[in-house]
Amino acid sequence: MWHPFPEGMIVRLVENMNRLGTETAFEVLARAEELGRQGKDIINLGIGQPDFATPAHIVEAAIKALRDGHHGYTPAQGVLPLREAVAADLHKRHGTEVSPDNIAIMPGGKPTMFFAILMFGEPGVEIMYPDPGFPIYRSMIEFTGATPVPTPLRMENDFAFSADEVLANVNEKTRLIIVNSPGNPTGGVTPKSEIDRLIAGLADWPDVAIMSDEIYSNMLYDGRSHTSFLNYPDIRDRLILLDGWSKTYAMTGWRLGFSVWPDSLIEKIVRLAVNNHSCVNAPTQFAGIAALTGPQDAAAQMMTAFDERRRIIVPLLNTLPGFNCLEPAGAFYAFPNIEGTGRSGKKLQSEMLEKVGVATVPGSSFGIHADGFVRFSYASSVENINSAVQRIGGMLAAG
């Protein structure tokens, strides 16, 4: 058989590949599925995706698009009616004007962070990111050779960032600051007053870009309203906004997201898109239009269900010995501190999965200071939540 390399030769990868991290939630998902195949009864509170189907009118719009012949390439930036729908949605939700020319349709939320970090990261520069936070931020920063500078999100601060702490770390080497509220894995929401202070302080650093990951901006509880970084005109010329359909419309597998870029960067992101994926698949873009312009009741019903589950899971977790859980203000994650169990998050997560079939994600997957935590996604039924906590309680009682 033909082989591209002489027998025994080891291929030589670029140095950066050694630094690329991963998202442990996908590994947990694979292990949970494997255990399920072995006949174990697994409750999956690991992966962060709604347990609802994509609303029917959205699915129909994609099918119709295919029937109508939308099966070819589209402009790399996304079809204009979708970008117009995104602009209208941003206006409705945040009261802000965004031109469709500044919007890029992306294959999910993740590619925006991937490309933004690629644009700004290189050896010798610093990129700040939330910790605990979405693991891909740090992974990609390290991949580029830039130095990752964590912004600690503390439980005693309701997992909000402190503007003073962020600003204290900004220096001449800082190229990009990543923020995420409502946050994964904590469900924390940073108050507007703190964002105001950050933006005011950043006036002293006009060449530092900001990427605000607002993928959970539709998912707030107790009547809270979202403060978008789009609402700060002073930073619009250096703001990248990440958002998308995955969480709000139960569309994680469709791979559809969008980002807003300043005039100086939009051409660059479109060029990266052309080089990478050409465009998002056409029927999915039409589904995106239906999601934004169609009825919103299915999305609202999902939020009502998440809220109900939040009110159930948090008190239940707090009944477990050694658990201390805050009430999340947004998203669909509970992030209890579990140090009182005498285990690390990793140890507890592995025990819960292997012994009692409850899949979660250890805090250490989300940062360097989060080993005493475990993330529970409550995008799962009340029944599952009840029996998961019951199983964990039994496991802890057994020692």
Residues engaged in binding ligand PLP (CB under 6 A): 48, 108-110, 134, 180, 184, 213, 215, 244, 246, 252, 257
- How does DSSP assign 249-299, residue by residue? TT-TTT--EEEE--HHHHHHHHHHHHHHTSS--HHHHHHHHHHHHS--HHH
Which of 193, 186, 190 is closest to 212 using CA atoms? 190
Q: Which is nearer to ligand PLP, 115 or 356 (CB)?
A: 115
Q: Residue 41 CB, nearest distance to ligand PLP (Å)?
A: 25
Beta carbon nearer to ligand PLP, 76 or 316: 76
Query: DSSP class of residue 238?
Result: G
Q: How far is the CB of 214 from ligand PLP (least distance, A)?
A: 9
User: 120 vs 254, which CB is nearer to ligand PLP?
Assistant: 254
| 182 upstream amide cis, omega within 30 of 0 | yes
Query: Least distance from C-beta 33 to ligand PLP, angstroms?
Result: 18
Which CB sits closer to ligand PLP, 48 or 336?
A: 48
Smallest distance from the beta carbon of 203 to ligand PLP, in angstroms? 27
C-alpha to C-alpha distance for 190 and 201, rounded to whole angstroms: 16
Quote the least distance from Cβ 248 to ligand PLP, whole Å. Answer: 10
Report in angstroms how near the CB of residue 330 gets to ligand PLP at its nearest: 11
Min CB(335)–ligand PLP separation in Å? 12
- Rank residues 44 and 246 by Cβ distance to ligand PLP and give the closer one: 246
- The answer to whether residues 103 and 260 touch, using CB atoms and an 8 Å cutoff, is yes
Task: Return the structure tokens found at 377.
Answer: 């996604």
In terms of CB distance, is 252 or 349 closer to ligand PLP? 252
CA atoms within 13 A on the CB side of 41: 5
| DSSP string across 320-374 | STT-B-PPPSBTTEE--B-GGGTS-HHHHHHHHHHHH-EE-EEGGGG-TT-TTBE
Nearest to ligand PLP of 30, 168 (CB atom): 30
What is the rounded distance in angstroms from the CA atom of residue 247 to the CA atom of residue 226? 16
